[in-house]
Amino acid sequence: MQEVMTSILEQPHVALAADWNPWLSDDVCIIYRCDGCHICPMNQGKWLRMVKTAHANAPGGSTTHGAWKCAAKYDKGACLKEFKHSGSSMALVLLNLSEELTDGKEYQIVFIGGDTGDFDEQIITQLKAAKLLVTSDKKTDKTALLEAIEKLNAQCENRLITLAESRSIRSCTVADIEQRGLGGVPYCEDARLSIQTSGSTFMALYVPPETQYITKENRIKLYDVLSYQYDLSALPRPNGPVARAAYDFLRFHTIPTGIKGFE
């Protein structure tokens, strides 16, 4: 695992690619949620990337002038709600974990919460990146990472499709987007990264607004359980207070102080 962690720290594109990996571990996934129609696509590549028309073909235009939108279409029309980070924009799905973390249920779906901060982001990114690199056999080229992303999302769909909250969702089309006059064009560099506007279907979990938030205590317990995947003994302690706090937590299991969400 030392080699995996070194790749994460030294190659920023690995952490970026990890955003498309839904798994924190074999039994815990974190998936993005639409605050408009309350669905979480099981495949993280089933979001619509919209780019301002003037920048659609410019180098880096999709990154600096783009936005993620919900691709779901219903009888009343397309959702197309823009994704924005909030306390309910990410759902944790806990499978086959201790009864203490799942309240004695076979599985539990909870919101990550609004009291999280940079420390949580560091922990989540490193866990997702580690899982991605293990799946790619530690290869970090684009082809290997895309293949790993495809595999991990397929595994997520296969695991979550049996849950009671599972739904089959129809995706919007170019005509739906044009009808809304959003002032941009859909952008799809690779079908594994964003949805193609073909009116196809995808699987999602319906996670209503009344879903519970994971408590800070259980969030710390969860991070601690997952941190035992790491062996950081050969790595230097990174710079920056948040990065150091995440490193110390993953290596020594010490609770950080002075970090948002852990005061």
pLDDT value of position 212:
94
- Average pLDDT (196-220) is 91
pLDDT value of position 240:
78
pLDDT value of position 235:
56
Distance of CA 169 to the CA centre of its chain: 19
Q: Which of helix, strand or coil describes residue 68?
A: strand
**Domain extent listing, the chain:** 2-252
Q: Which of helix, strand or coil describes residue 188?
A: coil
pLDDT value of position 217:
86
pLDDT tens digits, one per residue of 215-245 = 888 888 898 888 887 665 655 676 778 878 8
Range 53-62, long-range pairs (CB < 8 A, 24+ positions): 53/183, 53/184, 53/185, 56/184, 56/185, 56/187, 62/187, 62/189
Question: CA-based angle 236:241:247, to the nearest 5?
Answer: 40
Name the amino acid, one letter, at 61: G
pLDDT tens digits, one per residue of 63-100 = 667 899 999 999 999 999 999 988 899 999 998 766 65
